[in-house]
Structure 1
Amino acid sequence: MTESVRELAPEELRALLETLKARFAKHPGRHEGITWDEVSARLEAADPGKLWSLREMERTGGEPDVTGRDPETGELLFVDCSAESPKGRRSVCYDPEALASRKEHKPADSAEGMAEAMGIELLTEEQYRSLQELGEFDRKTSSWIRTPEKIRKLGGALFCDRRYDTVFVYHNGAESYYAARGFRGLLRV
């Protein structure tokens, strides 16, 4: 695979599809009313870049799975369903602007920067809460979520987690980063 093409080799694609199929079968409650045949057909017809993005979600520990369908476009929604915030996406600040503002002890990347490079979107608060209806996620970690521009302009950013059987939304300086905070993504196929 070359970086500019973002296309998987046949064996990489085969391995990814096997992983996704097994996860889909193991968690039927995440995608009621959607069949694997439909998912498989959608993936076969997908742009190679979407498949590359799915593999990146998997490679960084996101464990992507179908969690629904976009009611307007009909696209299938793949969301990171790892129990905790994906390991390969932790210790990042919120966005490239926050990363640039750090004078010392900079993290390696930012959540928005990584998401863009991977071809995925950060979850909104609504999407994060919908995910939490499908299981219990981020019981020990937290995940940055898409932050409203008004908050971001003031230097803040939002993140969520699940504690005491409740989903909480918090704020922090966008330049902050922690070993237990990463981000979850969404890919439309």
Structure 2
Amino acid sequence: MLPLQPLTSEEHKQLLHLLQKRFEQNSHRHQGIQWENVVTKLEQQPLKLQSLQAMEETGGEPDVVGYDEATNEYLFYDCSVESPKGRRSWCYDAKALDERKEFKPENSAVAVAEAMGITLLNESEYRYLQQLGPFDTKTSSWLFTPAPIRALGGALFGDYRYKTVFVYHNGASSYYAARGFRGSLRV
């Protein structure tokens, strides 16, 4: 993934319009939050807009899912119904990519997230997202993996099957056409 690029004035305008439309169409995700407050914070942080643009371009459909009073930040998560199409078929992280001897994927979820300026959802964030609707009913998403699990060669992923959220493990170097990752961004 290329480094984030500054948005043109037209891209800036189109992104804000798209985010506002999604915000208004999915009010159940952010009850009590006003768009005017969100857009004010976004306008003050152009790098965050670049990250949101990257989330959008890779199929994440970012939307506001909460507000952290302690840090005065709005929380954006990837809210695409399935794991973002532009972020699939990658192993978990750079170490896993380096360890793979053959059939290496193009990249790793952690490296791409870092390049986008976002972080992978952790297990509790993923479970929170699933309260807002069923996500990953046909795909799965890599999740931020605690160091002790990663040190043993594993990585976590989540999906939604049988009306239940499942969080499970796989070798970090594995990759699948139906597994991507979901990210979060604080603004």
In the TM superposition, residue 71 of structure 1 has moved relative to its aligned partner by 3.4
Is residue 2:37 matched to residue 1:38?
yes
Counterpart in 2 of 1:144?
A: 142
Runs of 4+ with deviation above 6 angstroms: none
Where does residue 19 of structure 1 map in the other structure?
18
Query: Match for residue 177 of structure 1?
Result: 175
Cα distance change, pair 60–42 in 1 and its aligned pair in 2 (3 A) = same
Post-superposition offset of 1:5: 7.0
CA separation of 1:79 and 1:5: change in aligned 2, threshold 3 A: closer
CA-CA distance at 1:4 after TM superposition:
6.1
Correspondence list, 1:45-56, <5 A: 45-46=44-45, 48-56=46-54
State the 1:163 CA deviation.
Answer: 0.2
TM-score (norm 2): 0.97
Aligned-CA RMSD value: 1.0
Map 1:50-129 → 2, pairs under 5 A: 50-129=48-127
Does the CA contact (< 8 Å) of 2:67 and 2:75 recur in 1? yes
Q: Helix, strand or coil for the counterpart of 1:54? A: helix
Unaligned runs of 5+ in 2: none
Structure 1 161/56 Cα, relative in aligned 2: closer, same or farther at 3 Å?
Answer: same
Distance 1:155 1:119, change over 3 A: same
Question: In the TM superposition, what whole-angstrom CA distance separates every residue of 1:117-151 from its partner, at most 9, and x where no partner exists?
Answer: 00000001000000000111000000000001000
Unmatched runs of 5 consecutive residues or more in structure 1 = none
How many residues get paired?
186
The alignment's TM-score, normalised by the length of structure 1, stands at: 0.96
Q: Which residue of 1 aligns with 2:153?
A: 155
The alignment partner of 1:169 has SS state of: strand
Q: Secondary structure at the match of 2:133?
A: coil
CA offset at residue 7 of structure 1?
1.4
Secondary structure, counterpart of 2:20 in structure 1: helix
Distance 1:24 1:49 in 2: 20
In structure 2, how many angstroms separate the alpha carbons of the residues matched to 1:74 and 1:29? 20
